[in-house]
A and B are shown apart, each in its own frame.
Chain A
């Protein structure tokens, strides 16, 4: 029992299929998800992998076909009323009453949950929406809608925040802001579950991640551990590529030629690469370490068996990488 309370979210064999015209489509297929208490937890997967479906089931918006889920040790959706005050969530795009102002929307929610009106001003200020609070929700930009949604979740001062693709459609400044919001929430001891199909967005802020593909969990753990399991690569610019390739292969490296640039995989120490080449009288004009990151792990795990969805994965925050640098090929 005590062990279970270490988990903010835990699901076992969670399964959901949707009835469609073509028959049944699988949303989530036997998902076992564990989200520890505290910190930011990334919930990653390509489009259509079942992230939103999972979140909806956790919040009791849709019913699972089978399996079980717990939030802070409470069976959901059965005991959801007991924990709902500790959970704030944004599912997909924020949906409020379009004809009401942002403030009116929050005031209605505050009335509904019995939170004092003063809280409304506080959360509006917290997300920087005070000035536009009187405008109709309908007239908000995407970023303002997201902020209002975050403000709404803060009305409850929850212990667990669930953000489903919170940076969808935001500009870089907005993305950065949301990231720092998530970080500061986690630093205040709250648990943040953030789903995304954009890896770079989550990688920088997440402490732990779960990766799903086609409705099942493919990896779960600390970011550092997942990266550790992956290999590191460097890119070399050198005049005599064939001699360099020969030398490196002889030294035990896997080498690829990427449009005149050599990509060396399985590198533990880049200085060793330099030395191997120098020993043969070969000198580098440039050596760029390819940041080994979650992305390669992600693509490795979701790329091949994804339902043709891997190409939809975007690389936000991947400024350090060059085009054509497909981590997947390193595998």
Chain B
């Protein structure tokens, strides 16, 4: 307890950590400012331009619409396709409301999607899922993408940016411990408290407890600040219990992730002793494992185990990834389909939690036995 008190005090006194706290606030502020910009209504002159476009198109269709449709049907016949297949529908040559023409306004919440009637369709080419071979059947979408409108809502924007605060938690943890390992201050400390496990846990929990308020304020400013910014433009949209629940849940899970990241950071700092080495390892991991293997080389078997995938799944309440799969079918020959796979929140939590536990326990083990110079 005394040790933890000392560590928390040290946490508060560290200049670098104060700067990280300031940086966290600045970033959170920028998220809110971004939300303000995002939610701003279209400027007058741009609206006027689009209105002119719209009016011209309406006039054009009114005059020539029938002719266009006729031409289209003639082309379809030439190609030997049905009118629908060639896209010659009445709707194609009619203009809806101006609201549809300029697209939906940016809002913080989103409307509940209408229940879709009929068979479930593949998200890629609209084939009814039932008609596909089992290997090509997609798992239902989860998380943000599962709800039409959520992805481009203000809530969606905020949740997409929250991993930044998790990264800041990690950095805080690393700088909290690595410096004293490399400066040798730890050896003096150990002549006062030789019980290494206690020393380790006091530092890890000091990092967690110290990071908690910083991450809390950062996430709250980013989230609620964005909400307020949308409000300034009267663009709350629909924020029912569903939307609030999703929003608050995402922020709470991001906070948990940031605190755990601080513990992992403190462990890595103790393990590797230099901030620069930790930075190298972390960046190296993300470049090699996450980016090159996971994204560039599309090693899809790895995707559900990448830290980035699982962090997104954890914060956004699940995420999806797609793999193109082909099967040879007796009747249709080779058919290929983009298949959706879902990564659940729980999956994200378990993978991240397991990584955190392994890194931390390994660090305790090494620190307990290590010669301190």
Q: A72-114, CB under 8 A of B: which get 1 and which 0?
A: 0000010011001001110100111111100010011101111
> Is the CB–CB distance between A108 and B194 below 8 Å?
no
Instruction: Give the residue name and chain of the B residue nearest to A162 (CB).
Output: B191
> Is the CB–CB distance between A109 and B192 below 8 Å?
yes
Cα separation A112 to B193 with both chains bound (whole Å): 8
> Is the CB–CB distance between A95 and B184 below 8 Å?
yes
B185 within 8 A of A: yes
Contacts of A60 in B (CB 8 A): 190, 194
> Is the CB–CB distance between A95 and B191 below 8 Å?
no
Contacting residues of chain B (28-46) with chain A, CB-CB under 8 angstroms: none
A259 within 8 A of B: no
> Is the CB–CB distance between B9 and A89 below 8 Å?
no
Residue in B6, B183, B187, B194 whose beta carbon sits within 8 Å of that of A111 in the complex: B6
Cβ of B252 to closest chain A Cβ, rounded Å: 32
Cα separation A24 to B184 with both chains bound (whole Å): 23
A59 within 8 A of B: yes
> Is the CB–CB distance between B190 and A59 below 8 Å?
yes
Cβ of A100 to closest chain B Cβ, rounded Å: 6
Given contacts A61-B372, A63-B369, A84-B193, contact A108 B10 (CB under 8 A): yes
> Is the CB–CB distance between B193 and A99 below 8 Å?
no
> Is the CB–CB distance between A99 and B14 below 8 Å?
yes
Cβ of A190 to closest chain B Cβ, rounded Å: 16
B86 within 8 A of A: no
Given contacts A62-B372, A63-B369, contact A95 B194 (CB under 8 A): no
B329 within 8 A of A: no
Contacts of B6 in A (CB 8 A): 108-109, 111-112
Residue in B13, B194, B371 whose beta carbon sits within 8 Å of that of A81 in the complex: B194
B5 within 8 A of A: yes
Cβ of A27 to closest chain B Cβ, rounded Å: 10
Cβ of A138 to closest chain B Cβ, rounded Å: 10
Instruction: Give the residue name and chain of the A residue nearest to B15 (CB).
Output: A99
Residue in A61, A113, A152 whose beta carbon sits within 8 Å of that of B193 in the complex: A113
Which of A61, A89, A99, A109 has the most C-beta atoms of chain B within 10 angstroms of its own C-beta? A61
Cα separation A59 to B188 with both chains bound (whole Å): 10
> Is the CB–CB distance between B13 and A95 below 8 Å?
no
Cα separation A255 to B354 with both chains bound (whole Å): 79
Contacts of A59 in B (CB 8 A): 190-191, 194
Contacting residues of chain B (159-200) with chain A, CB-CB under 8 angstroms: 180, 183-185, 187-195
Taking beta carbons and an 8 Å cutoff, which residues of B are in contact with A? 2-3, 5-6, 9-10, 13-15, 180, 183-185, 187-195, 369, 371-373
> Is the CB–CB distance between B183 and A95 below 8 Å?
yes
Q: A190-220, CB under 8 A of B: which get 1 and which 0?
A: 0000000000000000000000000000000
Cα separation A95 to B182 with both chains bound (whole Å): 11
Instruction: Give the residue name and chain of the A residue nearest to B2 (CB).
Output: A114
Contacts of B14 in A (CB 8 A): 99
Instruction: Give the residue name and chain of the B residue nearest to A111 (CB).
Output: B6
Taking beta carbons and an 8 Å cutoff, which residues of A are in contact with B? 56, 59-63, 77, 80-81, 84, 87-89, 91, 94-100, 104, 107-109, 111-114, 149, 152, 156
Contacts of A81 in B (CB 8 A): 194-195
Cα separation A80 to B196 with both chains bound (whole Å): 11
Instruction: Give the residue name and chain of the A residue nearest to B14 (CB).
Output: A99
Cα separation A99 to B185 with both chains bound (whole Å): 11
> Is the CB–CB distance between A112 and B2 below 8 Å?
yes
Contacts of A156 in B (CB 8 A): 192
Number of A-B residue pairs with CB-CB distance less than 8 Å in the complex they form: 74
Cα separation A122 to B192 with both chains bound (whole Å): 18
A sample of 29 inter-chain contacts (CB < 8 A) reads A59-B190, A61-B190, A61-B191, A61-B372, A62-B372, A77-B194, A80-B194, A84-B191, A84-B193, A84-B194, A87-B191, A89-B191, A91-B191, A95-B183, A96-B185, A96-B188, A97-B180, A97-B185, A98-B185, A107-B9, A108-B6, A109-B6, A109-B189, A109-B192, A111-B2, A112-B2, A112-B3, A112-B6, A112-B192
> Is the CB–CB distance between A152 and B188 below 8 Å?
yes
Cα separation A320 to B180 with both chains bound (whole Å): 44
Instruction: Give the residue name and chain of the B residue nearest to A16 (CB).
Output: B371
Cβ of B46 to closest chain A Cβ, rounded Å: 52
Contacts of B180 in A (CB 8 A): 97
Given contacts A108-B6, A113-B193, contact A91 B185 (CB under 8 A): no
> Is the CB–CB distance between B190 and A97 below 8 Å?
no
Cα separation A258 to B191 with both chains bound (whole Å): 50
Given contacts A61-B372, A95-B183, contact A113 B190 (CB under 8 A): no
Cβ of B366 to closest chain A Cβ, rounded Å: 13
Closest 10 CB pairs of A and B: A95-B184, A62-B371, A112-B6, A111-B6, A80-B194, A60-B194, A61-B372, A89-B191, A114-B2, A95-B188
Given contacts A99-B14, A99-B15, A108-B10, contact A91 B194 (CB under 8 A): no
Instruction: Give the residue name and chain of the A residue nearest to B372 (CB).
Output: A61
Other A-B pairs, 14, CB within 8 Å; known A108-B10, A149-B188: A61-B191, A61-B371, A61-B372, A91-B187, A91-B188, A95-B184, A97-B180, A97-B185, A98-B183, A99-B15, A104-B13, A112-B192, A112-B193, A113-B192
Cβ of A330 to closest chain B Cβ, rounded Å: 39
> Is the CB–CB distance between B194 and A112 below 8 Å?
no
Cβ of A112 to closest chain B Cβ, rounded Å: 4
> Is the CB–CB distance between B191 and A111 below 8 Å?
no
Cβ of B172 to closest chain A Cβ, rounded Å: 16
Given contacts A91-B187, A112-B3, A112-B6, contact A63 B371 (CB under 8 A): yes
Cβ of A96 to closest chain B Cβ, rounded Å: 6
Cα separation A89 to B194 with both chains bound (whole Å): 12
Contacts of B10 in A (CB 8 A): 97, 100, 108
Contacts of B187 in A (CB 8 A): 61, 91, 95
Contacts of B2 in A (CB 8 A): 111-114
Cβ of A329 to closest chain B Cβ, rounded Å: 38
Cβ of B19 to closest chain A Cβ, rounded Å: 12
Cα separation A3 to B196 with both chains bound (whole Å): 31
> Is the CB–CB distance between B369 and A94 below 8 Å?
no
Instruction: Give the residue name and chain of the B residue nearest to A152 (CB).
Output: B188
Cα separation A40 to B14 with both chains bound (whole Å): 39
Instruction: Give the residue name and chain of the B residue nearest to A138 (CB).
Output: B183
Cβ of A104 to closest chain B Cβ, rounded Å: 7
Contacts of A87 in B (CB 8 A): 191
Cα separation A100 to B3 with both chains bound (whole Å): 17
Contacts of B373 in A (CB 8 A): 61
